Amino acid sequence: MIVIIGSNKGGAGKTTTATNIAVALAKRGYDVCLVDADPQRSACRWHAEREAAGLEPSITLIEKRDNIASALKTLGEKFDHVIVDVAGRNSRELITGATAADLIIAPHQCSQLDLDTLAELQDQLVRVRDLNPDLKAAAYHTMASTNPAVRETERQEFLTFISDFQEVSVIEAVGFYRKAYRDVMATGHSVMESDNLQASAEIEALCNEVFGDGR
């Protein structure tokens, strides 16, 4: 499967979602390729730390810029799963990648500024579907509040907002705001390799929902 982790907002949790999914799938025994298509190179830096530390499973990382469509198609034939990290804006990589992808996972916080960019994503989707009619898109609620007093209302707000965008479905799994997600990035780990069982379970749930249950 070719999955783009993409939204039109920086700091939404794209790279964090991409690297964690990549490790989770590799741990399940899949051949995974992580594509860094963001000039900021955050996934590359994470990957360099992972390699330097000799962590297993090792992840194949490829850097691609500009028109990434044919590169993704080729990688899609070689690997079980291709996970693509793109920049947080209306990038050429997001658009060209989407012509070759099966799914766009769009991480979003439950904030108006983040969610407002969904209109742009929906416009892009409609256009790209002229070339890739089977492309799907799903919003992933990230950095959700763990505070029991607001947890439920925040989720409801998120679901209500997304329901306005008919082309975008919602991922049931939720990623909460947890320090572990930040901490592991610097050392090339995933939360699955940390002692934060809640964060680890969140990534498991996300992967089960998107890729099916683990091998």
The position carrying tokens 């860094």 is 36
What tokens were used for 85?
């990290």
Instruction: Report yes or no: 146 and 180 within 8 Å, Cβ to Cβ.
Output: no
Q: How far is the CB of 33 from ligand ADP (least distance, A)?
A: 18
User: Does 7 contact Mg ion by CB under 5 A?
Assistant: no
C-alpha–C-alpha distance, residues 165 and 169, integer Å: 8
Q: How many residues bind Mg ion (CB under 5 A)?
A: 3
Please list every residue from 143 through 182 that binds ligand ADP, using CB under 6 A: 143, 175, 177-178, 181-182
| Partner in contact with 97, chosen from Mg ion, ligand ADP, none, beta carbon below 5 to 8 Å by kind | none
What tokens were used for 57?
């499973």
Of 18 and 210, nearer to Mg ion (C-beta) is 18
Compute CA 11 distance to the chain's CA centroid, rounded to the nearest angstrom.
12
**DSSP bridge partners of 209:** none
Of 63 and 80, nearer to ligand ADP (C-beta) is 63
C-alpha–C-alpha distance, residues 79 and 25, integer Å: 11
User: Does 42 contact Mg ion by CB under 5 A?
Assistant: yes
Q: Name the segment binding Mg ion (CB under 5 A); options: 9-17, 111-119, 174-182, 187-195.
A: 9-17
The closest alpha carbon to 23, from 74, 73, 58, belongs to 58
By CB under 5 A, name the one of 14, 27, 50, 189 that touches Mg ion.
Answer: 14
Of 41 and 155, nearer to Mg ion (C-beta) is 41
User: Does 20 contact ligand ADP by CB under 6 A?
Assistant: no
C-alpha–C-alpha distance, residues 46 and 39, integer Å: 14
What tokens were used for 22?
């990549």
Residues near ligand ADP, by CB under 6 A: 10-16, 42, 88, 142-143, 175, 177-178, 181-182, 185
Residues near Mg ion, by CB under 5 A: 14-15, 42
